[in-house]
A and B are shown apart, each in its own frame.
Chain A
Amino acid sequence: MTIHDDPLTRNTTPAPASDWVAHLESETHALRELLEAATQTRAASLTDRQDQIGPLLEKQALLCEKLERARTRRRALLQESGRGRGDFLVAVLSQTPPALHAQATARFSEYVDAAEAAQREIDINKEFFSIALSALDDIIGTVEGREPSYGPRPPTEPRLVSFKA
């Protein structure tokens, strides 16, 4: 798994003023990657490509870690500037040269849009995996205790899904 070096991964201290535009771009990119990974995970969980789930979950975990560092950085900026969450753009602009304000505003808009798109996908996955787990629990409860039947005998221990979170 390769996570490209970018402002988000370098450190968690407040960025220099000129870095906030790049910072927003990087986080937007991470959100889009998260959206894509979430979609792929759901798709893979329904197909015979189950072996892809582990790497996809790992990718999502790394992206979450990256977004968590970004959140720490945002909070530091808001704390330093004495502003609330709703004034984040104002705080960013206060740290950004006026010549870059338009660009920073546009990046912020894309950033929030990407977060909303990712949120929709996450909402779907929340419901999807909740129902799936509930259904599985019911079925496994029904099946447990039944006599083994004919057919090839797979390993009794199921393959564990590998992921870091």
Chain B
Amino acid sequence: MVLFDIMYLGQNALFANQTGVRTTSENIANVNTPGFSRREAVFRTAAASSFGGLRLGQGVRVETTRRILDGALNARARRQNSIAEGSTARANVLARADIAFGDLEGGGASAALDDFFESLDILAASPQDQTARTNVLATAGRLTETLNGYGRELRLLREELNAEIRAEVSEVNRLGAEVADLNSRITQSAQPSNDLLDRRDQLIAEIAQRSGLQTIEQDNGLVTVVLEGGHTLVAGNEVQELVVVANGPLVDITAGDGGVERDLTDDIRSGSLGGILRARDEDLAATQTAVDDFVTTFATEFNARHQAGFGLDGLGGRDFFALPSPGASSAEFLRLDPGLSNDTLAAASDPTLINGDNTNALSLAALRTDAVVSGQEPGDALRGLLQDFGDRAFSSEAASQADGFAAQQLTELQQSISGVSIDEEMANLLRFQQSFAASATIIRTADELTQDIIALKR
């Protein structure tokens, strides 16, 4: 063995050692880095060489430094994170709506409806009383304004989500572009950098926080990212971006797949984007429809009864409420009929007994207990739809917590495999230190003994 060989052997060993310690050091340095996977140096025994009839080991070399991770568990954790992020986003939107739309004690639509029917009871007791008539118009006005507020809030809430959808889509596209770039860099290097692989995994996890996805890893290291609904966001080093397009006052999400434009709005159902879309297109849309249906049915029935009566001017056949044109929100645009006044309020059924007739007022007040809205009394129907919305908000919050808990468990399990434990790394270091110190002691003794033998030939 010539001097060069000795140096080479020493170089191998030192390099291997430095890599082993550096790997531990790197693990510790990245203990709080999101997405960092614990590293492990993989050693390979170098081929032995001959020297003077002796077989001398060349020590070890670091073959590679690999990431410690469980691909299947990572995919499962990512999927659960998508679900949890979706549930949380949905719950957040519904919580906002609950505040804006909630049937607040004493100030909600149910209270306004009760006040309205009570004013009709008073009118029935004193059909000729101007104060009672003024009171009916006032409570009707408050009821209308409250229902208008609900309709407006629901519309605005849905429209306000446009900005959030745009922001999320923009982020998905940015992350997708970065994954595509990393795909390119990873396949260009002979031995992919663990940092690049970690970074790509982290980016994919961030996309998954916004939309459910699946990944397909190819032998050459490329990862294809397919979003819910089957749109391929990243293929090789190319990203096929999502596009936000206007759909009336709202926005939809589309993407070009092989030159064909596809609407993905209904496909994305998890991740924060999916949660927002679900809240907008399922929860808020259903509530908006329910409120509009209630208003339409109630106002139409009330108008029919009002048309049957006569005002103080002896005329009948007039509406009480003015419903908007078809297509517009009944709740938001419900108004009192422009011609409605104290004199036109139809409390009488007989035009010849206008001052003393309360028959129609009783009919109007009786609507309170008539099952005219989907087989329910108006008050019950209104409370029911408000309750239904409350249930949605509550269940979305519960789902958010349950899904978040499951995601946390999976993340912890994932971290127990891929994460860095300072304690564990420290124990490794101390173990290294002790065995190295013991080796050093032996080396000193052996060194003295061999030096003594070599001196014999002088």
Q: Does B64 contact A (CB under 8 A)?
A: no
In the complex, what residues of B have CB within 8 A of residue A85's CB?
452, 455-456, 458
Interface 1/0s, chain B 417-458, versus A by CB < 8 A? Answer: 001111111110111111111111111011101111111111
- Asked whether, in the complex, the Cβ of A155 is within 8 Å of the Cβ of B443, the reply is no
Known: A46-B17, A47-B43. 5 other contacts (CB 8 A): A46-B20, A46-B43, A63-B446, A133-B436, A149-B31
Q: Among B13, B38, B434, B443, which residue has its beta carbon within 8 angstroms of that of A46?
A: B13
- Asked whether, in the complex, the Cβ of A71 is within 8 Å of the Cβ of B449, the reply is yes
A4-12, A15-23, A95-103, A136-144 - interface stretch: A136-144
Q: Among A74, A115, A128, A139, which residue has its beta carbon within 8 angstroms of that of B25?
A: A139
In the complex, what residues of A have CB within 8 A of residue B450's CB?
31, 34, 67, 115-116, 118-119, 122
- Asked whether, in the complex, the Cβ of A32 is within 8 Å of the Cβ of B438, the reply is no
Q: Does B190 contact A (CB under 8 A)?
A: no
- Asked whether, in the complex, the Cβ of B59 is within 8 Å of the Cβ of A43, the reply is yes
In the complex, what residues of A have CB within 8 A of residue B440's CB?
126, 129-130, 133
- Asked whether, in the complex, the Cβ of B415 is within 8 Å of the Cβ of A150, the reply is yes
Interface residues of A (CB under 8 A from B): 27, 31-32, 34-36, 38-43, 45-48, 50, 53-54, 57, 60-61, 63-64, 67-68, 71, 74, 85-86, 88-89, 108, 111-133, 135-137, 139-140, 142-144, 146-156, 158-161, 163, 165
B31, B415, B439, B454 — most chain A CB neighbours (10 Å): B439
- In the complex, what distance in Å separates the CA atom of A102 from the CA atom of B54? 22
- Asked whether, in the complex, the Cβ of A31 is within 8 Å of the Cβ of B456, the reply is no
- In the complex, what distance in Å separates the CA atom of A156 from the CA atom of B428? 11
- Asked whether, in the complex, the Cβ of A149 is within 8 Å of the Cβ of B421, the reply is yes
- Asked whether, in the complex, the Cβ of A156 is within 8 Å of the Cβ of B59, the reply is no
Chain B, interface SS category: helix
In the complex, what residues of A have CB within 8 A of residue B427's CB?
154-156, 158
In the complex, what residues of B have CB within 8 A of residue A165's CB?
438, 441-442, 445
Chain A: which residue is nearest B429 at the CB level?
Answer: A140
Q: Among A43, A57, A149, A155, which residue has its beta carbon within 8 angstroms of that of B45?
A: A43
- In the complex, what distance in Å separates the CA atom of A88 from the CA atom of B452? 11
B425, B432, B433, B435 — most chain A CB neighbours (10 Å): B435
